A and B are shown apart, each in its own frame.
Chain A
Amino acid sequence: MTSLYEEVRGDQPGEVPVRRVSIRVNGVNRTADIEPRLLLAHFIRQGLRLTGTHVGCDTTNCGACTVLLDGKPAKSCTVLAVQADGHDVMTVEGMATASELDPIQEGFKDEHGLQCGFCTPGMMLSAKALLEENPNPTEDEIRWALSGNLCRCTGYQNIVKAVLWAAEKMRAQAGK
């Protein structure tokens, strides 16, 4: 994985700094030799071929690239992969099991929480972190928690409904 980026300056291989990292992605330990400048988003997308993490603005504004780093939302376009060494990363691919969608994914499906889908992985992971912390959020709390994730399609209304739907389902499941 050392050569994910183009050789812009024609450096000799020996001049390229390399670090061995071990990052737990969706519960699986991934060990790789990477350049320190490799961004976590690129490690995930190009390195691991997990393309559910989207890169939208590439300038830390949109939140499309959101992953959970040790359970907390982080913009993976603005974290170095070396910084995740020894840490836990969850991408959208880690949400569903082989047979079952995560209630948040179900909520987005049922309540039409997406149109083009570009913002959706980031939205769902921010929602997941919110519901871990606060299983019964108000609409305002949802809007606040998702305010770092931008959507150009939905107008947010159905995204909020989707999260309310998921929260209710998760509370019902926990109550059983």
Chain B
Amino acid sequence: MYPSRFNYESPKTIEEAIALLTKGNGEAKILAGGMSLIPMMKLRFASPEMLVDINNIPNLNYHRVDADGTFHIGALCRHSDLEKSSILAQHQPTLAATAPLVADPIVRNRGTFVGSVCHADPQGDWASAMIALDGMIVAQGPKGRRTIAVRDFVTGPFQNVLASNEIAIEAIIPATTGTRFGGYLKLERRIGDFATAGVAVALELSGSSVIRAGIGLTGVGSSTVNATDAAQSLVGSPLTSEAIERAADLAAQAAQPRSDHRGSAAYKKQVVRTFVARILTEINSTKTKAA
């Protein structure tokens, strides 16, 4: 298999890339890690007339914490950079738990975090973590930059709000006021498989009380599910076993899975319930140990 014919450009600056995308007039596509786009082009599910390869633009491969506590992930930061990152492990428990579960080690060497969020696959793992963390995407177009919350960024399966000449420059995770806790659990049939179901949880605690909560669900809807009711139910009280049960039930209710070769809808809902409870219970026990 090979893709249909296209023109290839490898700009050296973001501005040049935007100009090429503008010229492409909707027929050009950005190439980042290529781990979703190239397979789609080989299968001829996508046949862009032009590829704008952003891999040669300098200074886009970074992830860092700023002095204000915000966490930034550049457009060329690879899954494997995050998997091996000690700052991620230190500051972002939800993302650190997700990193080793995305695809397989070879795919992780090339695939990018930002590309994955842009791809908006309902089975993408990073999008759930970003939903749980209230993450944002910074996009740059001919008229400058704008910041979009990930919950508004994805508009449907494989669809996002970017104009055809906008580039996602980086992802931002807002700073916390409390102490950050989180986790990600994914059921997969084998390594490299997409999720049968996945659950991302991000909490902020002040003392023993939850002051912010986010729960994102992978692979159980036509796009990443934002389990807001489940998350809200946790805010304002400690992580008691009743609170954990309630949140797990509400998350299972928010899931809209379909029965397929990975499992029945009822089974996937049960996996969501179990995973939410498991992550919250684990957070509760680490928190108690730390105190």
Cβ-based interface call for A138 (8 A)? no
Q: A36-B6, A147-B192 are in contact. List 6 more A-B contacts (CB 8 A).
A: A9-B5, A37-B6, A59-B43, A60-B107, A61-B192, A147-B104
Could you list some 29 contacts between A and B, CB below 8 A?
Answer: A5-B2, A8-B4, A17-B7, A19-B8, A36-B8, A36-B51, A37-B3, A37-B5, A37-B6, A38-B2, A58-B1, A58-B42, A59-B39, A59-B43, A60-B35, A60-B107, A63-B106, A78-B38, A78-B42, A79-B34, A79-B38, A80-B51, A83-B55, A126-B105, A144-B105, A148-B103, A148-B104, A148-B106, A149-B106
| Interface residues, chain B, with chain A CB atoms under 8 Å away | 1-8, 10, 31, 34-35, 38-39, 41-43, 51, 53, 55, 80, 103-107, 109-110, 191-192
Among A69-77, A88-96, A111-119, A165-173, the one that faces the other chain is A69-77
| Interface residues, chain A, with chain B CB atoms under 8 Å away | 5, 8-9, 11, 16-17, 19, 35-39, 42, 58-61, 63, 66, 72-75, 77-80, 82-83, 126, 144-145, 147-149
Q: Which residue of A lies closest to B7 (CB)?
A: A17
B105 in complex: contacting residue of A42, A80, A148, CB < 8 Å? A148
Q: Are A39 and B105 in contact (CB under 8 A)?
A: no
Q: Are A78 and B35 in contact (CB under 8 A)?
A: yes
Q: Are A126 and B106 in contact (CB under 8 A)?
A: yes
A38 to B55, CA, bound (A): 17
For A126, what are the chain B residues with a Cβ–Cβ distance below 8 Å? 105-106
Closest chain B CB from A39 CB (angstroms): 6
Do most interface residues of chain A lie in helix, strand or loop, or is the interface mixed?
loop
Given A36-B51, A148-B191, check contact A79 B5 (CB 8 Å).
no
A164 to B103, CA, bound (A): 25
Closest chain B CB from A124 CB (angstroms): 13
A75 to B109, CA, bound (A): 10
Closest chain A CB from B12 CB (angstroms): 13
A19 to B6, CA, bound (A): 12
Q: Are A17 and B104 in contact (CB under 8 A)?
A: no
For A78, what are the chain B residues with a Cβ–Cβ distance below 8 Å? 34-35, 38-39, 42, 110
Q: Are B6 and A17 in contact (CB under 8 A)?
A: yes
B8 in complex: contacting residue of A74, A77, A80, CB < 8 Å? A80
A80 to B8, CA, bound (A): 10
For B192, what are the chain A residues with a Cβ–Cβ distance below 8 Å? 61, 147-148
Closest chain A CB from B119 CB (angstroms): 14
Q: Are B2 and A36 in contact (CB under 8 A)?
A: no
For A8, what are the chain B residues with a Cβ–Cβ distance below 8 Å? 4
For A11, what are the chain B residues with a Cβ–Cβ distance below 8 Å? 5
Q: Are B39 and A82 in contact (CB under 8 A)?
A: no
Given A17-B7, A79-B38, A83-B34, check contact A66 B2 (CB 8 Å).
no
Q: Are B104 and A63 in contact (CB under 8 A)?
A: yes
A164 to B10, CA, bound (A): 41
Q: Which residue of A lies closest to B41 (CB)?
A: A37
Q: Which residue of B lies closest to A79 (CB)?
A: B34
For A83, what are the chain B residues with a Cβ–Cβ distance below 8 Å? 31, 34, 53, 55
Nearest 9 Cβ contacts at the A-B interface: A148-B104, A36-B8, A148-B106, A147-B191, A37-B3, A73-B106, A72-B109, A148-B105, A78-B38
Q: Are A60 and B8 in contact (CB under 8 A)?
A: no
For B1, what are the chain A residues with a Cβ–Cβ distance below 8 Å? 58-59
For B35, what are the chain A residues with a Cβ–Cβ distance below 8 Å? 60, 78
Q: Are A74 and B5 in contact (CB under 8 A)?
A: no
Q: Which residue of B lies closest to A125 (CB)?
A: B106
Q: Are B106 and A66 in contact (CB under 8 A)?
A: yes
For A39, what are the chain B residues with a Cβ–Cβ distance below 8 Å? 2, 42
For A37, what are the chain B residues with a Cβ–Cβ distance below 8 Å? 2-6, 41
Q: Are A73 and B8 in contact (CB under 8 A)?
A: no
A58 to B6, CA, bound (A): 20
A25 to B245, CA, bound (A): 57
Q: Are A16 and B5 in contact (CB under 8 A)?
A: yes
For A80, what are the chain B residues with a Cβ–Cβ distance below 8 Å? 8, 31, 34, 38, 51
Q: Are B5 and A35 in contact (CB under 8 A)?
A: yes
A148 to B103, CA, bound (A): 8
Q: Are A145 and B34 in contact (CB under 8 A)?
A: no
